[in-house]
Amino acid sequence: MAAVEVHKFAPCITCHAWSRDRSMLAFCPNNNEVHIYALLQGKWEKLHVLQKHDQIVSGIDWSARSNKIVTASHDRNSYVWNLEGSEWVPTLVILRLNRAALCVKWSPRENKFAVGSGAKTVCICYYEQENNWWVSKLIRKRHDSSVTSVAWHPNNILLATASTDGKCRIFSTFIKVVDANKPYLVFFLVKQQILQLDLSFSWSFGVRWSPSGSTLAYVGHNSMIYFVDDVGPSPLAQNVAFRDLPLRDVLFLSERLLIGVGFDCNPMVFAADLHGIWHFIKFLGERKTTSSGPKYGSQFSEAFGKLYGQQKHGLNNDTNEHSRSRGGVHENCINCIVPLGEPGSSKVTRFSTSGSLSGYTMILPYSKIVPVSQHCPPTTAIAASTSPPPPPCPTIIATFTYPTFLAKQNSSQYARFPKVPVTHSTITDQSPSPNPLPDSQILSTRHSLLSRHLTATQLADSFLARLRLTEPHLRSFLHVSDSVLAQARELDEKIQRNEELGPLAGVLVAVKDNICTAEMPSTAGSRVLEGYTPPYDATAVRKIKELGGIVVGKTNLDEFGMGSTTEGSAFQVTANPWDVSRVPGGSSGGSAAAVSARQCMISLGSDTGGSVRQPASFCGVVGLKPTYGRVSRFGLMAYASLLDVIGCFGSSVADAGILLHAISGHDRLDATSSKREVPNLEAEFVSISSLDSKPLKGLRIGLIRETLDDGVDTGVTSAVRNAALHLEELGCSVTEVSLPSFSLGLPAYYILASSESSSNLSRYDGVRYGNQVPADELNSQYKDSRAKGFGSEVKRRILTGTYALSAGYYDAYYKRAQQVRTIIRKSFKAALDEHDILISPAAPSAAYKIGEKKNDPLAMYAGDIMTVNVNLAGLPALVLPCGFVEGGSTGLPVGLQMIGTAFDEGKLLKVGHIFEQTLQNCNFVPPLIADEVTT
């Protein structure tokens, strides 16, 4: 349809909605009725009048799937209308409100709907099959005034709201009975507020998500439209101010094209350029002008002047100044805008608007705005505008009073940014390049600080807010630094002075509590070191601080790293963010849970037999174990010195790789650290938009046959085999490879590790440092300090190691275990001579229940079978999430382990990054607290 259609049905239209085939229109003529019209033989005919509400109908939405209509009214109730034969049958939905319902919207999957109200409350309504009725759950005590608009994210879980307290908020609406069978959905801190944006002195009217959900737009009565792009820990917030009357509603026609409607009576077009910067483009329709009212010099004063500077008395008919209309077709305020597309298609090809006093419904084709295939930069579009463009206005930083969620970006997001080479250099005051990897928290932080879109203080405050909210449920941290905000403010001052900053500037890092920090306690999760604060930083921590990183705190762990569940901590048990009744893995469970729950951006752990990789698998994050010697162990409290390495956690492969690059290199304080040159690992991370369809063509992948035996859960095996198929789609050749010595690794590891621990832990005597138990004699003090300071698992391993090292058993156990280790190293070398990378599950199962294996140490030890061989061989390994298995409320993540040749972490990172960016339908952000919205 090439022309604009204009139809008048009533003196005033409050709201309207279209049927799924666009053949019928439902609207409220500013009373308690809903009228339904159909276009019959070129003429609109009234078919039905829906009469059940007692007061004005304030919201209508028509389901495209079930053909049901939902209405909301000032009478504080909703009805769901179902067409049975030729009659619309209503079902009452009791909202339990004490003020009027103001708006209503079906969710994208139409299994629930949201109602905004004047009661400072949002109702989430869904159909309860067991009782055959509609249930209303309330999100209470979050708004300070009326909720004027609601908008659903495409994932069917997140809901954005606008309210007259000047706030735009995002909530989770996860409801177990309707959403629990969608394991790939993102988030979801149930009923909790995810994000808050502040318009300061303005009401907030309308809010809408872009088609992909990567951009949020909202409008207020201050004649400004706000865009929050790359919604994440460091979102890009910008605004566009204009010299005209405020908007009331907005609609995305595409990712980079938006229509706004409101008091100006003419739709306004906004578009984003190739760098994601939004601009006002033009008005739609002919605009009438008015001569009354004073003139103003600024954008803000002019807009407010048009509202408040009008003549108090109209003039006689000798002039036309009594007409305040600025409209073309609409003669007064436009209430709402509704998308229209072809039946059966989600693509928006047209949209309709309805007015409050004119009573018109206007249908405009997409092509009247801009050709469907064209998204021109603003300079082209402004040339055709009927109004002069506003001068460039600075980016406004929204007030973030709660941290955002991290949704995995899809390919359309990458297309917005051109490929920019990334180098490991200092941050300067030069103009920033667009962020090539929006899902990398490190690069997003770097980009936001460079572009001044966000301050380090705002960023730190948002993460601390999330930490305060989630920590009572997760217990990831043993100690939280009280200097985080002070460090962030110092960084902001450096930015203001245009000083050079390190590549980790503003990045929030958590550190496992067996890695020394000079200003915070380091207990290794043991009572024997309770209250101990080291006089120095570990080398890895020192490097992070020198590069600008901010240490948030110390994370929980199994005592001295001896465990696989984090239940072995002497202080608390950490929970898994995907299901708080399950373990996060161990021994670096606190570090993995903190990254998974977005309590920090990245974290350090230690890996002796899988203590980074197994928790990464359980918590759905990326875990990187470097080659032995790549990272200095100085400051790492030793468990098994020939096996221990410091590893990295991140929510993306890029983050883990950048962290490894920062802490790698030779250290004169650690004789086992390698003098090999550290390659630029950050160069491996490029935007997927720059890759061809087979980016890994020619790469040889070996799937370890022994890791898919009967002892592995079928769901884990299926996820790993699907990951292998995905690698083949990327161009790899995948073949099975056998490592006959694989099963020997577990007993050899526990003999060697326990033997070293019995020697390393002999230094903890209660005299030199740590917790001291008073006693009359020195020997008694040694005995009591160790007996009361060490936990049961540590004692078990010390005794095992002492036994294996004793004179009568050294050859039978320790020496033979060393021989097995040599065999394992040779078998890996042979396999990697024929393959570039080996893959396997990271663990034989997904996360299990807390307490399930606590009293069965052999069962817990068996869970390390996938990882210990890599430590015995001294090789690098990367674990990244590859799928889900059933469990919890939304499914439990499964990790894929990639094993590479010594000191070739770059290849692992490149393959892992491409695998991660091309994996479809998997969003590895946990529910945190998986429960339904409470009343």
**Do the beta carbons of residue 532 and residue 523 sit within 8 Å?**
yes
The number of residues making up the chain comes to 935
3 state DSSP class of 579: strand
DSSP letter string, 397-420: PP--SSPPP-PPP-HHHHTTS---
Query: Which class for 576: exposed (0-12), middle (13-18), buried (19 or more C-beta within 10 A)?
Result: buried
Among the listed residues 63, 223, 354, 587, the single catalytic one is 587
The CA-based dihedral angle spanning residues 532, 538, 541, 547, taken in that order and rounded to the nearest 10 degrees = 140
The DSSP code for 634 is T
Establish whether 352 is a catalytic residue: no
The CA-based dihedral angle spanning residues 340, 343, 345, 347, taken in that order and rounded to the nearest 10 degrees = -20
Backbone angles phi, psi at 830, to 5 degrees: -65, -40
3 state DSSP class of 909: helix
Query: Which class for 165: exposed (0-12), middle (13-18), buried (19 or more C-beta within 10 A)?
Result: middle
The CA–CA distances, whole Å, from 482 to 486, 519, 553 equal: 8, 10, 9
Among the listed residues 611, 632, 673, 754, the single catalytic one is 611
**Phi-psi group of 268: left, alpha or beta (phi > 0 → left; psi -120 to 50 → alpha; rest → beta):** beta
Strand ranges, E, within 180-321: 193-198, 204-209, 215-220, 224-229, 236-241, 247-254, 257-262, 268-272, 278-283
**Do the beta carbons of residue 703 and residue 736 sit within 8 Å?**
yes
How many Å apart are CA 17 and CA 922, to the nearest integer? 33
Establish whether 689 is a catalytic residue: no
- Cα–Cα–Cα angle for 446, 452, 458, rounded to 5 degrees: 80
Nearest-CA neighbor of 746 among 635, 835, 870, 831?
A: 870
Beta bridge partners of 161: 150, 169
Beta bridge partners of 45: 38
How many Å apart are CA 911 and CA 882, to the nearest integer? 13
Strand ranges, E, within 691-776: 700-704, 733-737
Tokens 């979102």 locate to: 235
How many Å apart are CA 448 and CA 428, to the nearest integer? 13
How many Å apart are CA 237 and CA 449, to the nearest integer? 13
What token pair was written down for 789?
Answer: 């300071």
Q: What is the rounded end-to-end Cα distance, in angstroms, of the chain?
A: 47
How many Å apart are CA 146 and CA 124, to the nearest integer? 16
How many Å apart are CA 537 and CA 533, to the nearest integer? 10
Longest dimension (CA), the chain: 117
Are β-strands 700-704 and 733-737 bridged in parallel, bridged antiparallel, or unpaired? parallel
How many Å apart are CA 29 and CA 31, to the nearest integer? 6
How many Å apart are CA 291 and CA 774, to the nearest integer? 90
Establish whether 611 is a catalytic residue: yes
How many Å apart are CA 142 and CA 151, to the nearest integer? 16
The CA–CA distances, whole Å, from 518 to 328, 533, 634, 635, 667 equal: 69, 6, 13, 10, 18
**Do the beta carbons of residue 38 and residue 44 sit within 8 Å?**
yes
Among the listed residues 137, 191, 408, 512, the single catalytic one is 512
Q: Which residues are catalytic?
A: 512, 587, 611
